[in-house]
Amino acid sequence: MSIEHATSTTLKVGVVGIGWAGQQHLEAYSKIDGVEIVAAAGMEEELLAAMKEQYSIPHAFARWEDMIELAGLDAISVAVPTFLHAPIAIAALEKGIHVLSEKPIARNGVEGQAMVDAARKSGRVLDVAFNHRRRGDIQALKSVIDQGELGRPYYAKAAWLRRQGIPTLGSWFTNPELAGGGPLADIGVHVLDYALHLLGEPKVLAVSASTHAELGPRGLGGNANYKATANSNKFEVEDFSSAFLRLEGGATLVIEAGWASYRHPDDEINFLVYGTDGGAELKVAGYAEPEKNQLHVFKDNGVENADYVPKVGRDGMHQQVVEDFVAAVRGGEAEWGRHDGSLALNRALIIDACYQSALEGREVRL
């Protein structure tokens, strides 16, 4: 695709995978001027027909391999189980198609590196959907930290915890060969991403992690709110994980990711940071209910506490993810090289090190 084509004509896109995530991508593309959804691919025949009608999609395919052969296709979203991210993305990139993949980039860093290599070789965009860094509260806190309000951050803790949030027991989520891991790979990668984003992308020097599988193997910790296609997979991943990360410059970051544990019933997403000149805490309880969310900055004026609550803007979420991807594609070749998936690969390599640490019972240096 030429620069002129990318920036001045209708962008023709397709979506592979029509579950919850794929539907977020379809909805987002439908709201962007100059973008035409020309194809969708999915195995669910009735749902595919419904999506085709809802978004007036001219081409629908059961097989993604057939979709990427469609003439004139400029870009695709990949919203399928993790084990399919690499083969679909690489095949599309090799055909000169830009790719936006759901997180994590792949099952592991080896597959992620192959995707990045394909993006660099083709000169096309490879982006990964980290929608939680687009939250209004995360963006507000990012502004506070970037403005130096907290001084130098030296300790942070971040988590996403559920009471009964194992995606359907027996689904692909609980098979390490299909998912790459449990909650650390699934929701923990979001926690890792927004934490490092908030801290200014410090280099991770070493990790020490542990994983636990106490509820899932006993058939506990599931919930009808977390749905996936059930099959015969056993529960062979963790249901809770924690990691201690040593960061360049001496700071430390602790992350927790849990699908199931005996705790408050609401989902909780949080971030706590201590800096040399201030601190901050974000608590998101039942994240679909904004009235429960809290963001506080802790300061003093030399005499007394001067804590305050920053103004929080709207959540960008998947809409902003897709808009940013479209902007990168329309930015032309100079912009394409800045979007090669390397940040998402960095996350995958850190997750890999965490799993290695948990397996071997030792600190792993990156």
Domains of the chain: 3-129+318-340 (3.40.50.720), 136-314 (3.30.360.10)
In Å, how far from its chain's centre is CA 235? 22
Going by the DSSP 8-state scheme, the letter that residue 216 receives in this structure is G
Average the pLDDT over 311-319 and give the result: 93
Average the pLDDT over 257-281 and give the result: 96
CB of 240 within 8 A of CB of 214? yes
46-82 confidence digits (pLDDT tens): 999 999 999 999 999 999 999 999 999 999 999 999 9
Average pLDDT, the chain: 94
Q: Check residue 223 and give its pLDDT.
A: 78
pTM summary value: 0.94
Question: What's the chain's Rg over C-alpha atoms?
Answer: 21
Spell out the residues 6+ positions from residue 220 whose beta carbon is closer than 8 angstroms to its own: 164, 260
CB of 127 within 8 A of CB of 100? yes
Q: Check residue 2 and give its pLDDT.
A: 40
Residue 334 above 70 pLDDT?
A: yes
User: Residue 156, class by beta-carbon neighbours within 10 Å (0-12 exposed, 13-18 middle, 19+ buried)?
Assistant: buried
172-231 confidence digits (pLDDT tens): 999 999 999 999 999 999 999 999 999 999 999 999 999 999 999 999 998 777 655 566
Strands (E) across the chain are located at 11-16, 35-41, 59-61, 75-78, 98-102, 126-129, 153-161, 204-212, 240-247, 252-258, 268-275, 279-285, 294-298, 364-365
| Peptide linkage before 104 cis (omega within 30 of 0) | yes
| Of 104-108, 331-335, 339-343, the least confident | 331-335
Which amino acid, one-letter code, is at 123? G
